[in-house]
Chains A and B, each alone.
Chain A
């Protein structure tokens, strides 16, 4: 039965997340962007909602709930509405947890999943992106080769969130031409974490370059061991998560500029009374909704374990464009004020621009 309504349980989760996004993220996002730090208490509060542990089986210390991409989308949208840096920071451990949950061997699950069910935030991350303009996740430059009982990894990664603090790192590398995941623990020999990156936006999220100098890890650390991982699915889960976050960022910009346009007077009436502004807002509203529905549809396919490559890549590209159109519209509607860092719209434009560059930095 076709339905566009989240379940009661999902609605409860959304309300809870929205509360944290409003009370925590929205209170400190500007400060965090300027200082480059997400306050620890904000991370812990959001972590306390248990997004990840709730879908980890009880035998691995989780709550044993269903792992749903649609629910993941609802959460990601609300968190990103609050602040994108914080959303990515809080959800970062999922970059390891979900692939292990879905594709890890029994041993890998036993070894790694309980860590994500602890009360305290578990810093874990994944390295996918490589520093070249025509980066393609399906044709990685970083390589993995089997040498006796070890895998030897070499190459360079960038935009690895929280790499300096992470206990666990899932690195994607080409093994005989196909992309596979490899689990690295902190301090693995040959793993070199570079300086913190300085980016155009999402500045409160600490990201790093990594160098893998013949980094040796036991062959047991290949995600899914002999079966490997379904990399295509991981990418689709990532596209859907990022699309949902783009919807959240865009919705924030739409709401803010809508409210501003109703208040701001020009020629004796609110600027929203002019079609030039009103039609921008109408288009923003339509595109935010359309992208959300496309995201849900792709997530629905993922939940059914069907191939969602078409849906996920279409919505990701659509969302990349949409979020820039909407956040740019937000800056434009505020005019000169939109360009000043006292208003959040410039931050959302900088953040929104990131989506097209950031493959793999989220997962449902």
Chain B
């Protein structure tokens, strides 16, 4: 039955996340925005201690709502918190039972630890099938060579903790997608180094690393999924499909991050308007509304639209339903919505909007990444279009 009500426990989980966002993340967000690459160690340790408390590991709709709340607090800081992240998600979707045990166990014990995903290269972004990093088998080992960029939490995974990075490399360049495989490279593996950290427009608390692999040797068993790759079947792109399946889970999560930032901006705007005694008159005909009221309502409905699409996508996944279309819909909508909402907030707030004294401008900078990572808005539109048209990638390029 169509229902939008949370159970009391779920409600409590979301409230707890809001409290954390308000009391722990929000007060230090600006500091780490202005001190890029400085480590919020205390925050990381505190949040690591609290992991698993009060529904912090919730999946599905509540998990998404929790992420919205946290990103309402500060999106950059949320991205630097320890945990399995995208690397863990890849292991979870593509790994064997044995691999899940071996790689994911660390997230339940010990010190804070991260896992990252390394896919993008300087010469390929959205077209992940053009990856040039190579993996060559040498007896009981794989030898990796290549350079990966834009690895979120790459440094934290490899230098600050005993984490790992899931590296996408080709075992046969002539095989295209069929030759692309994910490999787990553990922190401390010789032949791998973090080359540099990017300086970014926003989410500055999050580290974005370049990682270089030079004859980096990893155990044969670290290839995710079936180890049977001696003969590459050119008609099968299962490995690649699984990478794409990871996106079905991660895209709505990014969408949830986006709506968190959007709501933060929207709440700031409403606070200012309330202080000025300006009321948004819902239910009044358009012809009678001020331009300001109209803009705020438009922002609010874009936020709502994005949020509901996001919740639907995660709900479907939690029900075991195929959600590729809905995941991409939510990401495309939320990425664009948060970009527009935060830019509008800066515009509406005039001198306040542009000043670093307030968070409007920061929201706008933090927002933009949501329309780029985990598939740009355009790539997600392409996926939605292919799905609704029932077209292959050859039919719609």
Answer yes or no: are A and B bound together in one complex: yes
- Give the B-binding residues of A (Cβ under 8 A): 1-7, 10, 70, 133-138, 232, 235-236, 258, 261-262, 270, 272-273, 275, 278-279, 281-283, 285-287, 289-291, 293-294, 296-297, 300, 309-315, 317-318, 356, 359
When A273-B395, A286-B332, A293-B309 are in contact, do A314 and B282 touch as well, CB less than 8 Å? yes
Question: What chain A residues lie within 8 Å of B226 (beta carbons)?
Answer: none
* A262 CA to B284 CA, complexed, in Å: 42
* A317 CA to B301 CA, complexed, in Å: 9
Quote the shortest CB–CB distance from B286 to chain A (angstroms).
7
Given contacts A2-B4, A134-B287, A258-B388, 5 further A-B contacts (CB under 8 A): A10-B1, A258-B389, A272-B385, A285-B384, A293-B309
Question: Could you list 29 A-B pairs, sorted by A, with CB under 8 Å?
Answer: A1-B7, A2-B4, A4-B311, A10-B1, A70-B2, A134-B287, A135-B285, A137-B285, A235-B283, A262-B391, A272-B396, A275-B385, A281-B388, A282-B384, A283-B381, A287-B305, A290-B305, A290-B306, A290-B308, A293-B305, A294-B308, A297-B304, A311-B304, A313-B282, A313-B283, A313-B297, A314-B300, A317-B301, A318-B305
Question: What chain B residues lie within 8 Å of A296 (beta carbons)?
Answer: 2, 4
Q: Is B285's CB under 8 angstroms from A136's CB?
A: yes
Question: What chain B residues lie within 8 Å of A290 (beta carbons)?
Answer: 305-306, 308-309, 333
- Give the A-binding residues of B (Cβ under 8 A): 1-7, 61, 282-288, 297-298, 300-301, 304-306, 308-309, 311-312, 315-316, 319, 326, 329, 332-333, 381-382, 384-386, 388-389, 391, 395-397
Q: For the complex, would chain A's binding face be called helix, strand, loop or mixed by DSSP majority? A: helix
Question: What chain B residues lie within 8 Å of A281 (beta carbons)?
Answer: 385, 388-389
Q: Is B332's CB under 8 angstroms from A282's CB?
A: yes
Question: What chain B residues lie within 8 Å of A283 (beta carbons)?
Answer: 381
Question: What chain B residues lie within 8 Å of A70 (beta carbons)?
Answer: 2
Quote the shortest CB–CB distance from B291 to chain A (angstroms).
14
When A7-B1, A273-B396, A282-B332 are in contact, do A294 and B301 touch as well, CB less than 8 Å? yes
* A148 CA to B333 CA, complexed, in Å: 58
Question: What chain A residues lie within 8 Å of B1 (beta carbons)?
Answer: 3, 5-7, 10
Quote the shortest CB–CB distance from B44 to chain A (angstroms).
31
Q: Is B6's CB under 8 angstroms from A2's CB?
A: yes
When A286-B384, A289-B309, A294-B308 are in contact, do A4 and B396 touch as well, CB less than 8 Å? no
Q: Is B282's CB under 8 angstroms from A278's CB?
A: no
* A135 CA to B287 CA, complexed, in Å: 8
Give the A-B contact count at a CB cut-off of 8 A: 139
Q: What is the chain B residue whose CB lies nearest that of A137?
A: B285
Question: What chain B residues lie within 8 Å of A282 (beta carbons)?
Answer: 332, 381-382, 384-385, 388
Question: What chain A residues lie within 8 Å of B305 (beta carbons)?
Answer: 287, 290-291, 293-294, 318
Quote the shortest CB–CB distance from A247 to chain B (angstroms).
12
Quote the shortest CB–CB distance from B262 to chain A (angstroms).
14
When A235-B283, A275-B385 are in contact, do A2 and B308 touch as well, CB less than 8 Å? no
Quote the shortest CB–CB distance from B307 to chain A (angstroms).
9
Question: What chain B residues lie within 8 Å of A136 (beta carbons)?
Answer: 284-285, 288
From B4, B315, B385, give the contact of A300 (CB < 8 A).
B4
* A3 CA to B321 CA, complexed, in Å: 13
Q: Give the residue among B298, B301, B333, B384 with the most A Cβ atoms within 10 A.
A: B301
When A285-B384, A297-B308 are in contact, do A5 and B301 touch as well, CB less than 8 Å? no
Q: Is A285's CB under 8 angstroms from B395's CB?
A: no
Q: Give the residue among A281, A286, A291 with the most B Cβ atoms within 10 A.
A: A286
From A258, A261, A273, A300, give the contact of B3 (CB < 8 A).
A300
Quote the shortest CB–CB distance from B105 to chain A (angstroms).
31
* A254 CA to B286 CA, complexed, in Å: 26
Question: What chain B residues lie within 8 Å of A135 (beta carbons)?
Answer: 285
The list of the 7 closest CB pairs from A to B, nearest first, reads A290-B305, A293-B308, A278-B385, A282-B384, A282-B385, A318-B301, A7-B1
Q: Is A297's CB under 8 angstroms from B396's CB?
A: no
Q: Is B388's CB under 8 angstroms from A285's CB?
A: yes
Q: Is B315's CB under 8 angstroms from A3's CB?
A: yes
Q: Give the residue among A278, A283, A297 with the most B Cβ atoms within 10 A.
A: A278
Q: Give the residue among A1, A137, A282, A315 with the most B Cβ atoms within 10 A.
A: A282
Q: What is the chain B residue whose CB lies nearest that of A277?
A: B385
Q: What is the chain B residue whose CB lies nearest that of A4?
A: B312
Quote the shortest CB–CB distance from B313 to chain A (angstroms).
10
Q: What is the chain B residue whose CB lies nearest that of A297?
A: B4
Q: Is A286's CB under 8 angstroms from B309's CB?
A: yes
Quote the shortest CB–CB distance from A240 to chain B (angstroms).
13
Q: Is B4's CB under 8 angstroms from A261's CB?
A: no
Q: What is the chain A residue whose CB lies nearest that of B7?
A: A1
Quote the shortest CB–CB distance from A275 to chain B (angstroms).
7
